[in-house]
Amino acid sequence: MITFADRLNTVEEYYFSKKLREVNLLKSQGKPIINLGIGSPDLEPPSRVIDAITESMNDAVAHKYQSYQGLPELREAMAGFYKEHYGVSLSPLTEVLPLMGSKEGIMHISMAFLNEGDEVLIPNPGYPTYESVTKLVGAKPVFYDLVAENDWCPDFLTLEKSDLSKVKLMWVSYPHMPTGATASNKVFEDIIAFAKRHNILVVNDNPYSFVLNDYPRSILKYKGAKEVCLELNSLSKTFNMAGWRVGMVLGKTEYINAILKVKSNMDSGMFYGIQKGAIEALKCSKMWFTSLNSVYEERRQKVWKLATALNCTYDENATGLFVWAKLPPHLKAEDYIDMILKEHSIFVAPGTIFGSNGEGYIRFSLCAPIEELQEAIARVKLGVGVQ
């Protein structure tokens, strides 16, 4: 028998990949499942984006291989977006690299900077892909605690007491997924200072800046950040383009070139039409964000009511595409979400999939129409099962 690579022994199938098979099986059996587990936007992209990709089909170069670095006008649009919305100046020629979704950037960055045995600081709770990719490239995950008492921000006093001699990379994500916590100016400054002291490359994963957040920030705006920081960003949540797979990594030229070495051996360029659509998205005015957030604000109010009906508590100052809710004492997250799924046909994510510090929490997505959210509230308040 042909054996599998040893690296596969270090990771498991992604939780949502497994759980959604169960959810879809229940749907196929006639269960009216309301899915509040996944952050996949259900709203439309800007109409100008659809027009751009449609019109691009007639361009002579539309179906050819594209540059590994993306169209020059796409990089210019990305740099312009950062200048307008974050106040960050970037060279579109050397400091911006388009990606096929920011998730591939996690792999590309890890392959470009990590050797076997290097250590990586990973937030707990945090995006599970940081850990899995770290293991796949042969590096070692080292988790740092994020807790509500510290506003889900790193405790640098504790970190400084640990052995950091093998740490090469640190993942941060503000606005934070899954909690929705934001980082203050001081937190970003402390992250940069910590990275400089220990010669660590920090990557801020920043796809939720514009969802229910009045103060979008980029770590690259802070003094000295480019020396030790990269930033990942995405059009998935900002412009309802999750399936388009458009992301970007931004930072110092030398770092971008290292990532490009990996990327250029992994794909043959992003489809031309998607790039043209992305350019138009990045040119949208602030009215787009106002309109988008008016929808999410209404939905969040409903999700808060649903969380309250389930006897959960939550932080009304949190941002982003989710509501991170604390369960009543002594309840286990995975047991509780299974109970909700069985009794009410509502699927939500258990906090434990984001790390051990997610125990006692569940996460609701705002990616469902008002009608479904109202139905979910009714099911819970009535306390009856759904056949």
DSSP codes joined into one string, 302-342: HHHHHHHHTT-EE-TT--SSEEEEEPPTT--HHHHHHHHHH
Give the pLDDT confidence score for residue 238 in this predicted structure: 92
Instruction: Say how far apart CA 207 and CA 235 lie, in whole Å.
Output: 7
Q: DSSP character for 9?
A: G
Each residue of 370-380: pLDDT tens digit? 999 999 999 99
Distances in Å between the Cα of 167 and the Cα atoms of 32, 124, 283 are 47, 16, 38
Give the pLDDT confidence score for residue 383 in this predicted structure: 64
Give the pLDDT confidence score for residue 81 in this predicted structure: 96
CB neighbour list of residue 139: distance below 8 Å, 6 or more residues apart: 110, 114, 115, 116, 117, 118, 119, 120, 168, 169
Amino acid at 381: K
Give the pLDDT confidence score for residue 31 in this predicted structure: 84
Amino acid at 17: S
CB distance 358 to 125 below 8 Å? yes
Instruction: Say how far apart CA 293 and CA 254 lie, in whole Å.
Output: 36
Phi-psi region of 106 (alpha: psi -120 to 50; beta: other; left: phi over 0): alpha
At residue 229, φ and ψ (nearest 5 deg) are -130, 145
Give the pLDDT confidence score for residue 240 in this predicted structure: 85
Q: Cα–chain-centroid distance for residue 238?
A: 11
Each residue of 88-131: pLDDT tens digit? 999 999 999 999 988 899 999 999 999 999 999 999 999 999 99
Residues of the chain with pLDDT under 70: 14, 16, 383-387
Given the DSSP bridges, would you call strands 229-234 and 201-205 parallel, antiparallel or unpaired? parallel
At residue 234, φ and ψ (nearest 5 deg) are -155, 155
Instruction: Say how far apart CA 295 and CA 37 lie, in whole Å.
Output: 18
